[in-house]
Amino acid sequence: MNNIILNIKNKVKDSKVIIACSTGVDSCVLLDLCIKALDKSQIIIAHVNHGVRKESEIEEAYIKKFSEENNLTCIIEHLENLNSSNFEMIARTKRYNFFLNLAEKYNAKYILLAHHANDNLETMLMRFIKQSSLKGYAGIEEETKFKEYTIYRPLLKLSRLEIEEYANNNNIKYFTDKTNNEYDHLRNRIRLDIVPLLLKENPSLIDAVNYYNESLLGASLLLEETVNNFILNSVLISKDTIKFRIKDILTLNDYLLKEVLFTLLKPYNLSILQINEIIKIIKSDKQKIVSPILENLNLVKEYGNCIFIKKQLKELKFNQKIEAEGTYNLLDDIKLTVNKNNCYFTMQEQLSQVLNILQKDNIENYPDVIIMLCKKLSILYMNDLKFTLGSNLSDDEIFKKLKEFDSGEYELALEIFADFYYTVIDDEDKIASNNPLLEKYGKEWLKRSYGDMQLIVSMIDELKEYLKG
């Protein structure tokens, strides 16, 4: 443990830190190590009372008393009116928002969490079951960045057994959450049934997990370096174009080829289906092709080169008179569709509008606007999902696939997403005045609606990453 104490001291230095302490054995051990590593004035204890167990009041009273006796700052957050069917999802979101708000308030650069090697093993197994990307299979990272803050997990390489032994040997008081023994969640089932079996087969499994985690993270970094080197040496990138020679990119194997294209076109959030179509064009025998990938992205293949043009093809000139709405054949590979009043907000623009509204102090005065914008976003998201998963799928089939993909992290967001989508399909003119969504979730939901819609974006991105792999 001395190495961990030293690591914390060297990492944090003179910064204030937010230490998430649930009063479980792992977080209590983390707190003890931080007290030994840092000055007490640097430590801000963050405790969340979820309000669903009678033991929570006892645990809150204990951490309060402990903080007072040790001259430590302790901030308590009470979570109320949590939807029981979506408890894990909404509780996690609220906890992280609480930690980030404290980091901002106290100018703390670090948020310390007590994840350990067993947590990492459980996460890996969950991702094996659900499938993930190369980096995703690596599990939890020791450090992650969020805006200007660093989320740091000093105990990540320690097993649960090592943590419990340290707690018992150092007379550290802690509490046990009985809900961890319930079978309602996949993680609990993995923890209770699968992990003990694996440890019985290989008592050194935790060491193997740590090595595997480091290996995959290293492999993902090597992959990223390989992709970036190819782009640096073989791709010409300007403000409006991305250009490379076909013979150069075809030296890559199929996996690297996809990774290079995903990296080059990352701002466009292309699906694996779109990437595969681009590869077909690159590999085709046809020498001259002009293909629209997105409304603001075109692919031109000519003279042994491929060029992605980020704007419309202004340089192409056509001598054809446009007299009315309709579709016009300009060249064999180019068609022009003319619509009257073809004007709309992009997804990003609408998200910005939602954010601007939600940042207002008098948010309760804008329910109509917020709900309508979120409804519109739901339609945009669904269209994106149908393009990604298959346009032949029904709405119910899309949501079924999303639930199969979700490990529980996006459960609440999915429910809200579905509610919005089906409401707008039923009656697009419904607004907040008598809205069943407000009746179901309450006006307090308006304050987190933007975050929930952002979670859907994250879920779609993760789904695309999974399909990409």
Across 137-173, b (16+ Cβ under 10 Å) vs e yields bbbbebeeeeeebbbbbbbbbbbbebbeebbeeeeee
The token pair that represents 259 in the structure block: 């990774």
Q: What is the average pLDDT across 274-296? A: 85
Tell me the C-alpha distance between 375 and 380, whole Å.
9
Q: What is the pLDDT of residues 83-135, one digit of tens each?
A: 555 566 677 778 888 898 899 999 999 999 999 999 888 888 887 776 666 76
In this predicted structure, the answer to whether residue 345 has a pLDDT above a threshold of 80 is no
Of 3.30.465.60, 3.40.50.300, 3.40.50.2300, 3.40.605.10, the CATH number of 238-338 is 3.30.465.60
How high is the pLDDT of residue 312?
47
How high is the pLDDT of residue 320?
58
Q: What is the pLDDT of residues 443-468, one digit of tens each?
A: 555 555 656 666 777 777 777 777 76
How high is the pLDDT of residue 314?
44
Question: Domain map of the chain by residue range?
Answer: 2-218, 238-338, 347-468
Q: What is the pLDDT of residues 227-249, one digit of tens each?
A: 999 999 999 988 788 999 999 99
Lowest model confidence (mean pLDDT) among 10-14, 59-63, 142-146, 170-174: 142-146
- Helix, strand, or coil (residue 43): strand
In this predicted structure, the answer to whether residue 55 has a pLDDT above a threshold of 90 is no
Tell me the C-alpha distance between 416 and 412, whole Å.
6
Say which residue, 390 or 252, is predicted with more confidence. 252
In this predicted structure, the answer to whether residue 184 has a pLDDT above a threshold of 80 is no
Q: What is the pLDDT of residues 288-325, one digit of tens each?
A: 888 888 777 888 888 889 999 885 444 445 555 656 66
Lowest model confidence (mean pLDDT) among 38-47, 74-83, 148-157: 74-83
How high is the pLDDT of residue 253?
92
Determine whether 319 is exposed, middle or buried from the number of CB atoms within 10 Å of its CB (0-12, 13-18, 19+). exposed
DSSP 243-284: EEEHHHHTTS-HHHHHHHHHHHTGGGT--HHHHHHHHHHHHS
How high is the pLDDT of residue 350?
52
CATH fold for domain 2-218? Rossmann fold (3.40.50)
Cα of 107 vs its chain's centroid, Å? 25
Tell me the C-alpha distance between 93 and 450, whole Å.
12
Q: Assign residue 144 a region: left if phi > 0, alpha if psi is -120 to 50, beta otherwise? A: beta
Model confidence band, residue 416 (pLDDT cutoffs 50, 70, 90)? confident
Percent of the residues in the chain that have a pLDDT greater than 70, as a whole number: 74
Tell me the C-alpha distance between 134 and 202, whole Å.
24
Tell me the C-alpha distance between 285 and 278, whole Å.
13
Q: One fold for both 2-218 and 238-338?
A: no
- Among 77, 55, 52, 62, CA closest to 31: 62
Q: Is there a contact between 408 and 186 (Cβ–Cβ < 8 Å)?
A: yes
pTM exceeds 0.85 = no
Q: Is there a contact between 43 and 68 (Cβ–Cβ < 8 Å)?
A: no
In this predicted structure, the answer to whether residue 360 has a pLDDT above a threshold of 60 is no
